[in-house]
Structure 1
Amino acid sequence: MSLKLVVIGGGSSYTPEIIEGIINRAASLPISEITLVDIEEGLDKLTIIGRLSRRMIEKSALNIKLEWTTDRRSALQDADFVSTQIRVGGLNARKLDERIPLKYGYIGQETNGAGGIFKAFRTIPVLMDIASDIHEICPDAWMINFTNPAGIVTEALLKHGKHKKVIGVCNIPYNMKESVSEVLNVPADTVTIEFTGLNHYVFGTKVEVNGTDRLDEVLDALKEGTGDYSPANIVNLGWSRQFLDAFHALPNPYHQYYFQTKEVLKKDTDAYQENGTRAEQVMALESSLFKLYQDEDLNVKPAELEERGGAYYSDVACSLMNSLHNDTGDIQTVNVQNDGTLPFLADDAVIETNCVITKNGAVPLERSVVPASISGLIYSMKHFETLVIDSAVSGCYDTAYLAMMNNPLVQNEKDAKDILDELLNAHKVHLPQFN
Structure 2
Amino acid sequence: MKLAVVGGGSTYTPELIDGFARLRDTLPVEELVLVDPAADRLALVGGLARRIFAKQGHAGKITTTGDLDAGVADADAVLLQLRVGGQAARERDETWPLECGCVGQETTGAGGLAKALRTVPVVLDIADRVRRANPDAWIIDFTNPVGIVTRALLQAGHRAVGLCNVAIGFQRKFARLLEADPSQVHLDHVGLNHLTWELGVRLGGPDGENVLPRLLAEHGDAIADDLRVPRRLVDRLGVVPSYYLRYFYAHDEVVRELGAKPSRAAEVAAMEKELLTMYGDPALEEKPGLLAKRGGAFYSEAAVDLAASLLGDGGSPVQVVNTYNNGTLPFLPDDAVVEVQARVGHEGATPLAVPALDPLYAGLIANVTAYEDLALEAALRGGRERVFRALLAHPLIGQYEQAEGLTDRLIAHNREHLAWA
| Class of the TM-score when normalised by the shorter of the 2 chains | over 0.9
Partner SS for 2:376:
helix
After superposition, the Cα gap between the structure-2 partners of 1:229 and 1:354, relative to the gap in structure 1 and judged at 3 Å, is farther
1:269-308 map, 5 Å:
269-271=259-261, 276-308=262-294
Q: Give the CA deviation at 1:270.
A: 1.7
Q: Which of 344, 361, 373 is residue 357 of structure 1 equivalent to? A: 344
Partner SS for 2:323:
strand
1:19 maps to what in 2? 17
Counterpart contact for 1:229–1:253, Cα < 8 Å: no
1:103 maps to what in 2? 99
Range moving further from structure 2, 92-101 or 357-366? 357-366
Q: Which of 164, 168, 172 is residue 170 of structure 1 equivalent to? A: 164
> Is 1:201 aligned to residue 167 of structure 2?
no
Counterpart contact for 2:164–2:299, Cα < 8 Å: yes
After superposition, the C-alpha distances for 1:95-125 in whole angstroms (9 at most, x for unaligned) are 0101101122221011011101100110000
Structure-2 separation of matches of 1:181 and 1:299: 29
Range moving further from structure 2, 193-202 or 309-318? 309-318
Q: Give the CA deviation at 1:33.
A: 0.7
2:372 maps to what in 1? 385
Range moving further from structure 2, 115-124 or 300-309? 300-309
Structure-1 separation of matches of 2:229 and 2:316: 36
Structure-2 separation of matches of 1:429 and 1:198: 29
Q: Give the CA deviation at 1:246.
A: 4.2
After superposition, the C-alpha distances for 1:302-346 in whole angstroms (9 at most, x for unaligned) are 121010122222331111111222235621100010111111111
Structure-1 separation of matches of 2:390 and 2:54: 48
RMSD of aligned Cα (Å): 1.6
1:415-430 map, 5 Å:
415-430=402-417
Q: Which of 143, 149, 174 is residue 147 of structure 1 equivalent to? A: 143
Q: Give the CA deviation at 1:245.
A: 4.3
Structure 2 counterpart of 1:253, one-letter code: Y
Structure-2 separation of matches of 1:302 and 1:380: 41
Structure-1 separation of matches of 2:9 and 2:297: 16
After superposition, the C-alpha distances for 1:214-251 in whole angstroms (9 at most, x for unaligned) are 2212333564x222585xxxxx422342x334433211
Counterpart contact for 1:193–1:205, Cα < 8 Å: yes
Structure 2 counterpart of 1:251, one-letter code: P
How many percent identity over aligned positions?
37
Counterpart contact for 1:179–1:228, Cα < 8 Å: no
After superposition, the C-alpha distances for 1:364-402 in whole angstroms (9 at most, x for unaligned) are 112222223211111111111111001100103212101
> Is 1:247 aligned to residue 244 of structure 2?
no
1:180 maps to what in 2? 174
Q: Give the CA deviation at 1:203.
A: 0.9
Normalising by structure 1, report the TM-score. Answer: 0.92
For these two proteins, the number of residue pairs brought into alignment is 417
Instruction: Spell out structure 1 runs of 4+ moving beyond 4 A.
Output: none
Counterpart contact for 1:339–1:347, Cα < 8 Å: yes
Stretches of structure 2 that go unaligned for 5 or more consecutive residues are none
Counterpart contact for 1:221–1:227, Cα < 8 Å: no
Q: Which of 309, 312, 316 is residue 326 of structure 1 equivalent to? A: 312
Structure 1 counterpart of 2:279, one-letter code: Y
Counterpart contact for 1:132–1:162, Cα < 8 Å: no
Q: Which of 122, 127, 130 is residue 134 of structure 1 equivalent to? A: 130
1:386-401 map, 5 Å:
386-401=373-388
> Is 1:311 aligned to residue 297 of structure 2?
yes
Partner SS for 2:222:
coil
2:4 maps to what in 1? 6
Counterpart contact for 2:318–2:342, Cα < 8 Å: yes
Structure-1 separation of matches of 2:263 and 2:68: 32
Q: Give the CA deviation at 1:278.
A: 0.7
Q: Give the CA deviation at 1:430.
A: 0.8
> Is 1:74 aligned to residue 74 of structure 2?
no
Structure-2 separation of matches of 1:329 and 1:277: 37
After superposition, the C-alpha distances for 1:142-191 in whole angstroms (9 at most, x for unaligned) are 100000111111011111x242x100000101111111222333332222
Structure-1 separation of matches of 2:252 and 2:218: 24
1:29 maps to what in 2? 27
Partner SS for 1:226:
helix
Structure-1 separation of matches of 2:184 and 2:343: 16
After superposition, the C-alpha distances for 1:41-69 in whole angstroms (9 at most, x for unaligned) are x1110111111111112223332111111
Structure 2 counterpart of 1:380, one-letter code: N
Structure-1 separation of matches of 2:234 and 2:51: 47
After superposition, the C-alpha distances for 1:232-277 in whole angstroms (9 at most, x for unaligned) are xxxx422342x33443321110000001112211221122xxxx21
After superposition, the Cα gap between the structure-2 partners of 1:206 and 1:55, relative to the gap in structure 1 and judged at 3 Å, is same
Counterpart contact for 2:150–2:162, Cα < 8 Å: yes
After superposition, the Cα gap between the structure-2 partners of 1:46 and 1:238, relative to the gap in structure 1 and judged at 3 Å, is same
1:233 maps to what in 2? none
Partner SS for 2:200:
strand
Q: Which of 54, 60, 65 is residue 61 of structure 2 equivalent to? A: 65
Range moving further from structure 2, 382-391 or 62-71? 62-71
2:40 maps to what in 1? 44
2:210 maps to what in 1? 213
> Is 1:257 aligned to residue 244 of structure 2?
no
Structure-1 separation of matches of 2:214 and 2:25: 38
Partner SS for 1:195:
strand
Range moving further from structure 2, 168-177 or 404-413? 404-413
